[in-house]
A = this chain, B = another copy of it.
């Protein structure tokens, strides 16, 4: 018997570890969203999780070392193991996905674009989409640039709300603190987005789904981890289908 390790549609490479629990969460959602009728029909996956990748927000703020060497090394290992398409389950790391695609020659799924498209589908004609994100994702303008491409108006929370509600909420999840307070803080942040005219919002940090219950009662909320899982399934399980949310080389 000749074993064929890769189907024609290719293999998904997951560049993870940012953080480890968000990576495990993404992988589980990917399996759950794959419309496979048996174990054997699921996507082939190779995953690289080096949790020592330097903090992305600290690097974008100029307060820490660049994560690029570690990210490029991981992406190259995934390519060498056979990955034909990469998923990076960390919104802030999307500041570097063009570099990753150039360094490896492998296409990278665009979680930011996929999340905005999911928001537009969730509330058709919304026009203005709110974003709950890390300070690094804001500074890099990731959602603003993707919004321009997709014809969506993107709005962030006011700076004092970022400082006093969103930043501490993300820190609390990473630190494993009690989450009742952070859940209320995120609802305050969602209300500030609604006041700025957003009719739907994106939980644009893979830590946020854990505390988004109250915020989702303020405003329809789309989860960027889910959007990335759906983009991966669309790309590899239905390879014939057109998809805009891919960063291609060069």
Binding site for B on A (CB under 8 A): 1, 3-5, 7, 14, 16-21, 23-25, 27-28, 30-32, 34, 36, 38-52, 65-66, 69-70, 73-74, 77, 80-82, 174
Residues of B contacting A73 with CB < 8 Å? 3, 5
Alpha-carbon gap, A66 to B174, bound state (A): 43
Residues of B contacting A36 with CB < 8 Å? 20, 51
Residues of B contacting A66 with CB < 8 Å? 1
Q: Which of B25, B31, B51 contacts A43 (CB 8 A)?
A: B51
Given contacts A20-B36, A39-B51, 4 further A-B contacts (CB under 8 A): A24-B27, A24-B30, A46-B48, A47-B49
Q: Distance (Å) between the CB of A39 and the closest chain B CB? A: 4
Residues of B contacting A77 with CB < 8 Å? 46, 81-82
Residues of B contacting A39 with CB < 8 Å? 17-20, 51, 174
For residue A12, which residue of chain B has the nearest CB? B49
25 contacts between A and B (CB under 8 A): A1-B69, A4-B52, A5-B73, A5-B74, A7-B52, A16-B45, A17-B44, A20-B34, A20-B36, A20-B43, A20-B45, A21-B31, A24-B30, A25-B28, A27-B27, A38-B174, A41-B51, A44-B50, A45-B47, A45-B49, A46-B46, A46-B48, A46-B77, A47-B47, A48-B81
Alpha-carbon gap, A71 to B120, bound state (A): 43
Instruction: Known A5-B73, A70-B3, A81-B80; judge A20-B42 contact (CB<8 A).
Output: yes
A18, A20, A49, A74 interface centre (most CB from chain B within 10 Å): A20
Alpha-carbon gap, A40 to B52, bound state (A): 4
Residues of B contacting A30 with CB < 8 Å? 24
Contact status B42-A31, CB under 8 Å: no
